[in-house]
Amino acid sequence: MSKPVVTLNSVVIRFAGDSGDGMQLTGDRFTMDTASLGNDLITLPNYPAEIRAPQGTLLGVSSFQLHFADHHVRSPGDAPDVLVAMNPAALKANIKDMPRGATIIVDKDEFIPRNLTKVGYETNPLEDGSLDSFHVHAVPLTSMTVGALSELSLTRKEAERSKNMFALGILTWMYHRPTEATEKFLTAKFANKPEILQANLLAYRTGWNYGETTEDFANSFEVAPTKMPAGKYRNISGNAALALGLIAAGEKSGLQIFLGSYPITPASDILHELSKQKKFNIITFQAEDEIAAVGAALGASYGGALGITSTSGPGVALKSEMIGLGVMLELPLIIIDVQRGGPSTGLPTKTEQADLLQVMYGRNGESPAVVLACSTPSDSFEMAFEAVRIATTYRVPVFLLSDGYIANGSEPWRIPDEASLPKINVEFAKTQEDFLPYLRDPKTLARPWAIPGTPGIEHRIGGIEKADKTGAISYDPANHDFMVRTRQAKIDGIEIPDLIVDDPTGDAEVLILGWGSSYGPIATAVEVLRANGENIAHAQLRYINPFPKNLGEILNKYQRVLLPEMNLGQLGMMLRAKYLKDIVGFNVVRGLPFSTNELVEAAMGVLHV
């Protein structure tokens, strides 16, 4: 007899287990199958900062959260509706986030005294009544997986590695996800390891059949596709979108892309993605350190390519002197900073927005650079393209800020029509007499981009101040003052769009302002507030240096401005200094995105003062 099917509007699922249990792969496969059905979704991977924490410990818990729905979603969800916990550590690390009535699926084979003691459980939570407020399904995942694979010539340990596919099979059945794509993925991934392929396919299918036949699951669930604008979509992470945006900009500008990078979490996937696309006139260089990486990128720009370097906060610190040289040479250079928690190694897998003051001011002397910020994984494509436009048009270094949440999270992205992308016009200096390397374009203040080897346009480069127009070495105080002010004026004069405010009534008294990855949680909180009858406006900054021309006017329009940041108030300090506007900061640094509920609570405190 078929089981009843319950229709849901949205679901938040969290897969959690030891860092060796394959939770990121499991979550990614469920996400891909969900995206193929047309649901809107947002993901939140969360894995240990340690390379390999001790097995079965709280420090080693890895998780993957997915929020999918029949309507547009902007955040990964505050609390999971379903938790899949592969061991006691995964349960204990995540149970505090679970609301009453949520569903918990655990591998009861792992709830043995040794594993319970390791994480501080004095009694078995599956037996002591502490989980009575939840719908608990204690499934013998390990033993059932081993049993299903008993006819294969695998050791028990090898067979156990497929239990994540058993769990994925159960969830695939439970939410009516298609199985074909995952089976095709496994076939491709393990094509050269037929026995491992057979094990994973068998575990996956057995998990699906278990969901279909067991009495433990009374219902299955359906979430209808989201109504989205017509077009071709793919699921994309922030790092992948950044890479594609750079490729598109390279094609539209006709420039060769050169990425000089040193591997660093959470930015390394940009290097990985671009290294696969050499057919698009792309060179990737994995340097021996951060300084070599940015030096090679700046050298590539000097040679007529588009120099790019990708890193995180510690790498920005090492690159700073070379970026300062880029400011003085006035060459296009793009620095992608995928922000992470803490200084140095800190929390390398966690997210933060604490590099803003570093990229704004972290260079010696007056060395202004452009600062842009991505808002979502899919927005990373557009902002990467925009970074290239600005860098090449104005001959300036451009910082593009992402963070760990954007970089590793994913969402559906409508692939743009290539013809809809604007052309990026790039002109190099031509052979001429009396070439003046610092003779500026009167509109953009950009100097000529002169390629080495072009007859008649030889000029000096270096870190010593240049004379206006001639580019000769200059120690003249008046010239230095002029060049410093001119470089600043060039940044200030960059043409960018005005800031758009979402204020349906036009008479809200409170504005909630965000930047970077705060967009999704803020937009969701605003929806909740408006549904509860509150009148509130929302705006999201993507251009931070220079600010949009209308930002001051917007700030002054509202009586109170709430600014959530995953730092201790860096943008708030900049806005107070520039616009003399009292900004109410809401600041957290937990290595996690904002939750909707905490933003709603913070906004209510500002709305009703």
Task: Find out whether 438 and 449 touch, Cβ atoms under 8 Å.
Answer: no
Strand positions, DSSP E, 324-396: 333-339, 370-373
Q: Identify the CA nearest to 602 among candidates 544, 489, 479, 518.
A: 518
DSSP-assigned letter for residue 547:
P
Band (196; pLDDT cuts 50, 70, 90): very high
Cis omega before residue 263 (within 30°)? Answer: no
pLDDT value at 2 more than 90? no
Please state which of the ranges 168-172, 234-238, 393-397, 454-458 shows the lowest mean pLDDT.
Answer: 454-458
Backbone angles phi, psi at 530, to 5 degrees: -65, -35
**What is the maximum alpha-carbon separation in the chain?**
90
Task: Find out whether 127 and 88 touch, Cβ atoms under 8 Å.
Answer: no
Q: Which CATH architecture has domain 501-607?
A: 3-Layer(aba) Sandwich (3.40)
The 10 Å Cβ neighbour count of residue 166 is 26
Both tokens of 218, joined, read 């009374």
Topology agreement, domain 235-420 and domain 501-607: yes
Backbone angles phi, psi at 204, to 5 degrees: -65, -45
* pLDDT tens digit sequence for 410-442: 999 999 999 999 999 999 999 999 999 999 999
SS (H, E, C) 457-507: CCCCCCCCCECCECCCECCCHHHHHHHHHHHHHHHHCCCCCCCCEECCCCC
* pLDDT tens digit sequence for 200-228: 999 999 999 999 999 999 999 999 999 99
Distance CA 407, CA 339 (A): 9
Find all residues with CB under 8 Å of 527, minimum gap 6, and list them.
none
pLDDT value at 324 more than 70? yes
Distance CA 447, CA 331 (A): 9
* pLDDT tens digit sequence for 519-550: 999 999 999 999 999 999 999 999 999 999 99
- State how beta strands 61-69 and 10-18 pair: antiparallel
Both tokens of 396, joined, read 């300036």
- What is the structure's pLDDT at 609? 86
- What is the structure's pLDDT at 209? 96
Both tokens of 495, joined, read 């043409």
Percent of the chain residues topping a pLDDT of 70? 100
SS (H, E, C) 380-415: HHHHHHHHHHHHHHHCCEEEEEEEHHHHHCEEEEEC
Find all residues with CB under 8 Å of 1, minimum gap 6, and list them.
none
Q: Identify the CA nearest to 398 among candidates 317, 313, 443, 336.
A: 336
Q: Can you give the residue ranges of every domain in the chain?
A: 5-223, 235-420, 427-494, 501-607
- What is the structure's pLDDT at 19? 87
Both tokens of 44, joined, read 């939140």
Find all residues with CB under 8 Å of 589, minimum gap 6, and list them.
341, 352, 354, 566, 567, 568
Is residue 236 classed as helix, strand or coil in its secondary structure? strand
Q: Identify the CA nearest to 292 among candidates 314, 318, 274, 270.
A: 318
Task: Find out whether 439 and 469 touch, Cβ atoms under 8 Å.
Answer: yes
Is residue 222 classed as helix, strand or coil in its secondary structure? strand
pLDDT value at 346 more than 90? no
* pLDDT tens digit sequence for 40-74: 999 999 988 887 788 899 999 999 999 999 999 99
Fill in the amino acid letter for 197.
L
* pLDDT tens digit sequence for 475-528: 999 999 999 999 999 999 999 999 999 999 999 999 999 999 999 999 999 999
- What is the structure's pLDDT at 347? 85
The count of C-alpha atoms lying within 13 angstroms of the C-alpha of 118, restricted to the half-sphere facing its C-beta, is 21
Distance CA 356, CA 575 (A): 13
The count of C-alpha atoms lying within 13 angstroms of the C-alpha of 297, restricted to the half-sphere facing its C-beta, is 32
Q: Which CATH architecture has domain 5-223?
A: 3-Layer(aba) Sandwich (3.40)
DSSP-assigned letter for residue 108:
G
Both tokens of 418, joined, read 């290539």
Domain 235-420's class? alpha beta
Distance CA 490, CA 330 (A): 10
Cα 553 to chain centroid, rounded: 30
Distance CA 589, CA 287 (A): 31
Q: Identify the CA nearest to 330 among candidates 402, 242, 429, 245.
A: 429
Sheet holding 543-545, edge to edge: 282-286, 257-261, 306-311, 333-339, 397-403, 370-373, 543-545
Burial string for 80-99 (b: 16+ CB within 10 Å, else e) reads bbbbbbbbbbbbbbbbebbe
- What is the structure's pLDDT at 1? 53
